[in-house]
Amino acid sequence: MKKIVFFALFIVVFCTVWLCGCTGTAPQKSGTTGSQGSQQVATVVTTAPAGISAATTSARRVIIDEQINLWSGEQTTYQKYAFEDFGYRYLYPNDAFSISVNSDKPVNVLVIDKDDEIKFPSIEPEWNTVLERDQWDYSPVVPVFSQSNVLRKDMTFRILDKSSYFIIIDPRFASDQAGWRSSRHDEVHVDVKVTKL
């Protein structure tokens, strides 16, 4: 009799599990970065067919999130970020990024390709209100993206041509339009955050 009750109970439990499907959810973790608060990254894991490795795709990926301190009025003082250092040897057409800058003094933000990166250290930008209102002209460097006198701004840019790219945070004119010809040198504090969209 005990065997029959045990067997019947086993069958009921087995059938219940089989009909309901054995499903459950794992607890989700919320990541935090630095003292900026919490940040969530959506990740989708795909199952690949046999013979092909599985890939992980991020909807948004923060690649740079830091505070930098630079000096204005110095000819060679600017911050350069190579996308290659963050796993992006090449950027491709339609790759999009957002740049968030929060600075205590105005800085220029540029995105340039590998050809212009070589020329950049020798360029002395000129104030030009003919091209655009309140815009520094870095000719012969032709930035893919450029914003002048940024204090606090969220900006987005999209790549048109495949190449290696660099982000430049240029504080050289933050204290005086005379740039490095000026005798004024101030410390510039900049929070930079770059996100792959």
* Cβ–Cβ < 8 Å for 113, 144: yes
Helix (H/G/I), strand (E/B), else coil: 195: strand
d(CA 39, CA 30) in angstroms, rounded, equals: 8
User: For residue 161, what pLDDT band results from cuts at 50, 70 and 90?
Assistant: very high
In this predicted structure, what is the pLDDT of residue 28? 43
Domain range list for the chain: 60-196
Q: Which of 5-9, 17-21, 68-72 has the highest mean pLDDT?
A: 68-72
- Helix/strand/coil for 10: helix
The answer to whether domain 60-196 has CATH 2.60.120 is yes
Element (H, E) at 170: strand 165-170
Count of CB atoms within 10 A of residue 87's CB? 9
pTM: 0.64
pLDDT tens-digit profile of 87-109?
999 999 999 999 999 999 889 99
**Could you report the per-residue pLDDT of 21-71, keeping only the tens digit for each?**
544 444 444 444 444 443 433 333 333 334 433 344 456 899 999 999 988
